[in-house]
Every structure is written in structure tokens, then in C-alpha cells.
Amino acid sequence: MGEILRAIRCPNCNGIIKLDFDNIINYCPYCASQLTINTSLVKDILIEKEKTKQILGRAELQFQEKKLEAKKESLHMLFWVIFIIVSFILMILGGLLEAL
């Protein structure tokens, strides 16, 4: 990944254009001619970048899903703990009422 890939010469005025890979269309700062990044090499870089973005995005999504699942599971656990405690208290109260 040399400097060549980040800056190319304008086909119109031969000025050096620094490529902004976040935009497919770049503009020459000297003659304002529109430049579409379309050489196969640059395209490959863009695809790589896109792929990396996708992979990172998917990993992030999976992480969020797992986090949500863990949260759900802990809520489920909490529900059962409360349920058991409440039924235990009711059992004790029932026993007390019967004793009275």
C-alpha cells in the first residue's frame, strides 16, 4: 500500500488528486473534474475495505445479540428466584395462618 494508491494524477490536468476512499467519486482540486475511482486496483482496495466493514459490522451484531441473550437469560433467572422466594413466603404465611 504505497502512496500511489492514495493519490493519482488527474486525467484532465495532470494534477495530483488525493483519493478519498470513502467516496467513489472524487474531484480534482485543480480543475474540479469529476473522477470516479474505477481502476481495478483501487476497486480491490474498496472491496477489501467494504468487506472489512461488513465483517466488523457482523461481529458487532453478533456481540450485541449475545449480550441481549445473556440479559434475557439473567432476567429469566431473576424471575424464577423471585417466584421461589414469593411461594416460600406464601407457604410460611399459610402455615402461620393455619396455626392461628
Chain residues that interact with Zn ion, rule: CB under 5 A: 10, 12-13, 15, 28, 30-31, 33
Residue 81 DSSP label:
H
| Residue among 39 and 52 whose Cβ is closer to Zn ion | 39
In DSSP terms, 7 is beta-bridged to 18
Min dist. Cβ of residue 23 to Zn ion (A): 16
Query: Distance between CA 44 and CA 51 in Å, rounded?
Result: 10
| Residue among 6 and 33 whose Cβ is closer to Zn ion | 33
Min dist. Cβ of residue 14 to Zn ion (A): 7
User: What's phi and psi for 9, nearest 5 deg?
Assistant: -90, 140
